[in-house]
Structure 1
Amino acid sequence: MAVVDVGCGPGAITRKLSSWLGNESKIIGIDRDTTFINYAKEKARKQNMYNISYLEGDALKLPLEDNSVDACISHTVIEHVPNKEFLLEQKRVCKSKGRVSVMYARPDKYIKTEPKLLPKQSEREMELLDKLFKGTDEMYKKYNVGKY
């Protein structure tokens, strides 16, 4: 199985995937930050995780061939990029029966799909989320989080 972690940062998820999927898997971490890529490479090398490769690249122009991976994952990236282009790029690199998993941190900025069987948020959950995100709008505007 080949999996790409788009916006891998320091590589924590890629290393966890490597340990879960085993040495026969191919894990690719992509990030635009050279410092993160260098750090992630060093951590993987120290842990003898030779099935991981890290590439510097843009989430909207992944340095991968069409139909080349079984799955794409991303964690807290979609909030920072144009959603449609981001998802289409992941679709491009996934094989025909591949999967795309997009994780996000801001419930107010996600692509909303709710299965009918999913329980609704409780009042307490909504209260806690309000507290968690209270006062952050100015910071998000400063760094263009959720702009797209």
Structure 2
Amino acid sequence: MRDTVKQRATVVCQLGRRILLVSREGTRWSLPGGKPVTGEDLRETAMRELMEETRIHAMDMRYMFGFTGIHTCHHVFVATIADGEQPVPSNEITRCTWAKVTEVANLPVSTSTKGIVEVLAMASNGASRLPSDYDQAADIGAQFSR
């Protein structure tokens, strides 16, 4: 019997050329996010999970693209946050950090986090023409390359 692919809202928060990574005790770094509760749409999930994990309130949450890992389909959103917002680890999260996008591949991060950041980097470098649902990824990816 085949396992069902889990659905997850995954959030990209940016501060200049850095992105927010979170971690539970003893685990690899990952992007904030989680699974929806009954009746919740994925945008609401992204906003709730960001708040629960980091105490950051997103002023806006915009869908970027889908990324399918081995067991999870990540619905990637970009959060607009107020200047000066700083994450505070909360709920199950024990650590938060702002990591340079160019350094993520060398950090102990989840495989999906590494892949999502690679998609953003490809979009910013214009390495290839991405499918239409990646157009917004190119927008945010360009911001990382400035």
- Structure having the higher helix fraction is 1
Range class of TM-score, shorter chain: under 0.3
Q: Which has the higher contact order (CA 8 A, sep 6+)?
A: 2
Q: Normalization by structure 1: what TM-score?
A: 0.27
